[in-house]
Amino acid sequence: MKQLSLFPELDLKSDEPLQVDHSTNTLFNKMVEKPVRKPNATPPKTKTIKVPASNGGVIKPKEKPKVRAEDFNERLERMIYQYEGTIPKPKHYDNPNIIDAENLGKKPKPFNNNDPSTYPSDRDQKQRLSSWDIILDQTIKSGTSREKKEMRKYLKDKYKDPIQRKLFTEKEKRFISEYKAPEVTIPKVDTTFLTQNFKPIEQTIEQKIRDEQFQKLLDDQKKAEEDKHKGLAYLLGV
């Protein structure tokens, strides 16, 4: 019961079995009765159907988490905790949706086995990994002209580094007009083997005889057709 209390979408008093909402990958067992909208699509005399109470039976796409920068007070608490250690850990410190001002809108560092700051377990790197794609999408789709300008400048500076350039995604390259579609090369097929060591099929004696007979038949038909247009009968129109 204590574990179930961690899931507010579950009805602890319900006798309904636990089910999975595959659109959000969550469990639910709250069901409500809804009137049938298409009577012909259900068994006869079916007036209501059971649907999940959480979303009324309508499948909703999973929303991306909304990230934000820490405010002034949160940043002050974090810095005191990190550099002085005179206060307890701030409540927002481990919140993946509240990003440090130094990490917000910054690309993750390229992984380097000799640099612990590039490990996914590093706090700064973890924040950059979890927020970069979201911030980039927000800037591209709904950012102001100033935000887009700043993002382009930031990406272009990173693009100058050959190591960073290799890690750029297609989306990032398109945003700064550096994307080039890969060239499609059609492989050349070597056809010389078709003519090398080619030997015509030798005919047997029987095949040669049949070919000569067939050719003689064609010649006879052609001669007979020519003879029709010769002689006195042809001239008289008979």
Q: What percent of the chain has pLDDT over 70?
A: 73
CA distance 228 to 106: 96
> 63: alpha, beta or left, given left = phi > 0 and alpha = psi -120 to 50?
beta
pLDDT at 58 over 50: no
Per-residue pLDDT at 149: 92
Name beta bridge partners: 13.
none
Per-residue pLDDT at 54: 55
Q: Which two tokens stand for residue 91?
A: 């409540």
Q: How does 98-115 read in b/e, with b if 16+ C-beta sit within 10 Å?
A: bbbeebbbbbbbeeeeee
Within 13 A of 232's CA, how many CA atoms are on the CB side? 0
Task: For residue range 154-201, list pLDDT tens digits in order.
Answer: 999 999 988 888 889 899 999 999 888 888 888 888 777 777 766 777
Per-residue pLDDT at 57: 43
Q: Which two tokens stand for residue 104?
A: 């917000």
pLDDT band at 71 (very low <50, low <70, confident <90, very high): very high
- Listed as own residue / partner, the contacts of 41-50 with beta carbons closer than 8 Å and 24 or more positions apart are none
Per-residue pLDDT at 180: 86
Report which residue type is found at 139. Answer: T
Q: Reduced to 3 states, what is the DSSP secondary structure of residue 102?
A: coil
pLDDT at 120 over 70: yes
CA distance 57 to 34: 9
Q: How far is CA 55 from the centre of its chain?
A: 27
Contact 172, 137 (CB under 8 A): no
The residue ranking higher by pLDDT, 66 or 50, is 66
The position carrying tokens 């911030």 is 135
3-state secondary structure labels for all residues of 208-222: HHHHHHHHHHHHHHH
CA distance 159 to 169: 11
Q: Reduced to 3 states, what is the DSSP secondary structure of residue 27?
A: strand
Mean pLDDT of the chain: 80
Contact 172, 165 (CB under 8 A): no
The residue ranking higher by pLDDT, 62 or 121, is 121
Q: Reduced to 3 states, what is the DSSP secondary structure of residue 50?
A: strand
DSSP assignment letter at 200: P
Task: For residue range 128-137, list pLDDT tens digits in order.
Answer: 988 888 888 8
